[in-house]
Amino acid sequence: MINKEKVILELFEKEPQLTKKLIELKTDIKGSTLNNILKSLVESNSIERFGQGRATYYQRVYKETFSYKNITVLNDGIIIGELSFGDGKYIFEYNEKYKGSELIGIPRNENPYLSNTLFYIFENLIPESHRREKHLNIENFDDLADSLTTLLNTHGSYEFVYTYELFKYKKSNDKRPSYTTIKNKLLETYSYPNVLNYELDISDEILEDKSDTDYSSLSGYQNKIDINIDTKKQTIIIDTKNPHYLLKPFNKNIGEYFGDKNSYYPQVLVNEHLFMSFAKNELGFDVPYNGLIYHNGNFHYLIKRFDRYEEFRYEQYDFGQLLNIPSSKKYTASSDEVFHKANELLKDKNSKLELLRFYFYSYIIQHGDLHVKNIAIINIGKEKFTLSPLYDVISLGVIKGKDIDDLALPIQKKHKTQKSKFTIDDFLYLADILELNHLEVKNEFRKIAIKFIEMFPQYIEKTKELLHYDELSVSKTRHRKTNLIKKLNSFYEERLIALKKALIFEELEI
């Protein structure tokens, strides 16, 4: 039930003086209900009444020097509770009618619960770095929590509404389909390389991230744009209301060489399409439909959202949220911390095995950006979670060379600086956390390694098809260049040497 007194008091935070007619218009609270609430608020000295008859208006009375803002938090349309914030404090209070699971990092036995930082389960939903600053600046927000109300299309199924505007919220009455029944529609099939012959109807200003507006509220560092595809017109358009796809545009700040190798990530969008496609088509991982669009001399990357179907949202959490750490610390956790949490939440053996397979694949390809926010679980119904479809899979080994870390996180917390030179025993240590059989696990590792050995050269050959569009140039220095094909060949040869040296092939009897 909505606390109507609180709704009206929230409205006074926006507009200090209000008439009865304005309150009715803005809150949809009317008649005797409104009269009784206004009378009660006047008697409690929360508001003051001025004037008579039609000239009557009301004004907020402040008993303290500070007042809190209030946001109602919903999940799949169900009110979980209310987030109050201000003066450097954050308070969450569960709704008395909410019977669902406790939110991570917000204990139910301390209701309301106070924190000096925005709760990480919410903070991890907000875009990072310059995109976070843009979100705050656009609306001139005073507090990071305010920006939660702008997250129309963040991952998962949370929604955030200022409490005084909750009367406007409309929940769909349609029954949400089971995730397992629609998963294949979301993931679809395609062959590599998948170059889409669509027109990109988006201005260069937006593609180049020069606009004052952020066109996606999905978390992360990279520029993103919420889009949909008009299949009849074969056009890609911005859609921030109900997007089913995400566009990662070419970013010249990292895609062109300006002399700083640390910030240079050449052909990273082709890289992601390649390694996502290999995972999907050769190794059988759940991977969303994705492809490339060639526009104005550059490749852009498109991927279908796996947590949206029609107007429905599906509950999803990344491991930053699950481990209750801020997004700024996404590289500071360890793999065993991730796996212990996964063992708590994943009840299905196959999901546990998929997580370990993904980790081994990431090691094989040197997915050095596999931090806690790039691994997630999704609720497929009745509080049963599985590993989510893969996303943001890239090989930093291709981009940065053989000396890059094999993984972004150490395997063990006690060896927090070791992010390379892993052995099969390191991955069997993770298998033990998940209570998986060593022989079964090693057999899966063997299949992945053999697929990489046998099939990756074919993907290098397939990548040559992109040369019809672009040179796939990669700068070594300001005056020396190579191309992505040569980089992929070097990566493959160097990776085989490194894996052999680490006794991976010997341990797997390859």
For residue 448, give both structure tokens: 């992945």
Position 453 scores a pLDDT of 99
Name the pLDDT band for 509 (thresholds 50, 70, 90). Answer: very high
Q: Which CATH architecture has domain 4-60?
A: Orthogonal Bundle (1.10)
pLDDT above 90 (res 417): no
Contact 392, 272 (CB under 8 A): yes
Hey, do 4-60 and 317-508 end up sharing a CATH topology, with the first three levels equal?
no
Contact 463, 272 (CB under 8 A): no
Name the pLDDT band for 489 (thresholds 50, 70, 90). Answer: very high
Contact 202, 236 (CB under 8 A): yes
- What is the dotted CATH code of the domain comprising 317-508? 1.10.1070
Q: Of 31-45, 123-137, 222-236, 252-266, where does mean pLDDT reach its minimum?
A: 123-137
Position 48 scores a pLDDT of 87
How would DSSP label each residue in 216-284?
A: ----SSS--EEEEEETTTTEEEE-SSS--EEEE---HHHHS-SS-GGG--TTHHHHHHHHHHHHHHTT-
Name the pLDDT band for 63 (thresholds 50, 70, 90). Answer: low
pLDDT above 70 (res 304): yes
Position 385 scores a pLDDT of 96
What mean pLDDT do residues 45-52 have? 86
Contact 125, 119 (CB under 8 A): no
Backbone φ and ψ for 93, nearest 5 degrees, come out as -125, 120
Mean of per-residue pLDDT scores for the chain = 92
Q: How many Cβ atoms sit within 10 Å of the Cβ of residue 465?
A: 11
Q: How many Cβ atoms sit within 10 Å of the Cβ of residue 388?
A: 24
pLDDT above 80 (res 121): yes
> Domain-by-domain residue ranges, the chain?
4-60, 69-168, 179-308, 317-508
Helix axes 424-433, 349-364, angle to 10 degrees: 160
pLDDT above 70 (res 1): no
The predicted model scores a pTM of: 0.88
Which amino acid is it at 299? F
pLDDT tens, 256-294? Answer: 988 788 889 999 999 999 999 999 999 999 999 999 999
Could you give the CA distance from residue 294 to residue 236 in angstroms, rounded to a whole number?
12
Q: Of 53-62, 345-354, 397-406, where does mean pLDDT reach its minimum?
A: 53-62
